[in-house]
Amino acid sequence: MKFLSFSGISASRARTLIFFLLIFAGVAWSQAALPFPKVTFGVDKAGAPEDIAVTLEIVALLTVLSLAPSIIIMMTAFTRIVIVLNFVKKALGTPEAPPNQMVMGLSLFLTFFVMAPTFNRINDEAIQPYMKKEIDYKQGMDKAIKPLREFMLRQTGEKELALFVRATKQANPKTVDDLTMTVVIPAFILSEMKTAFIIGFLIYIPFLVIDMAVASILMSMGMMMLPPVMISMPFKLILFVMVDGWNLIVQQVLLSFH
């Protein structure tokens, strides 16, 4: 068996040379005595009440970060946008185009666009005053929830709110300020799903007409074995491009958040 060679050196000799070079490098590193970083985690006694407050703030921050995906999905405009965009894919008959990653990314950035005024209010009224120590933690949370609560109530229907108010078996609230977040959040989610399905139904109508027309033509020509979806998809794509479909859909979705 012949040895593979590289620049006149056999493979076995090359491996031996590399082995001795690694040993030499390790010895030189140990002689240099370079310090390695050491990371430690520990629990110690709190010397002052401020230490306990800082610890609780860190725990609360980690909790919020772990729940951030659920907060973004369930308490913002993300639910409606992502459902509508998925309806567009289904109506076009192209479940793989655009990819799910692109749909999720577009939905996320559109959510940030829609929620920008609300997020700015939260930053100005809650985060910045708390960072400047003008308000405490509880006041900051109350001020941060208020703009988000107002946004959700604007998008929530009375029927959905009444459903969860009756489910709590409590007295009817006199004003919307008496509604708890445990009532507002699920009512908001149901309202968003309802609105998204209504928009999806309106999106489906023109594409359904094309499918029916193509299916009727194929049946009249006796081509019953040919899938109508295969023939109608190019026509739906042409129609979607000619009317600038993505622009219209995104525009209508943005305008639906009043």
Nearest by Cα to 143 from 134, 156, 77 = 134
Per-residue pLDDT tens for 52-96?
566 666 777 677 677 777 777 788 888 899 999 888 888 887 777
Cβ distance 188 to 75 under 8 Å?
yes
The pLDDT of residue 6 is 42
Q: pLDDT confidence of 105, banded at 50, 70, 90? A: confident
Neighbours of 206 (CB within 10 A): 14
Report, as an integer, the average pLDDT of 128-134: 79
Q: What is the pLDDT of residues 205-233, one digit of tens each?
A: 888 888 788 778 777 777 667 676 777 77
pLDDT number for residue 183:
84
122: pLDDT strictly greater than 50:
yes
Q: What percent of the chain has a predicted confidence (pLDDT) above 90?
A: 1
Whether the per-residue pLDDT at 141 is higher than 70: the answer is yes
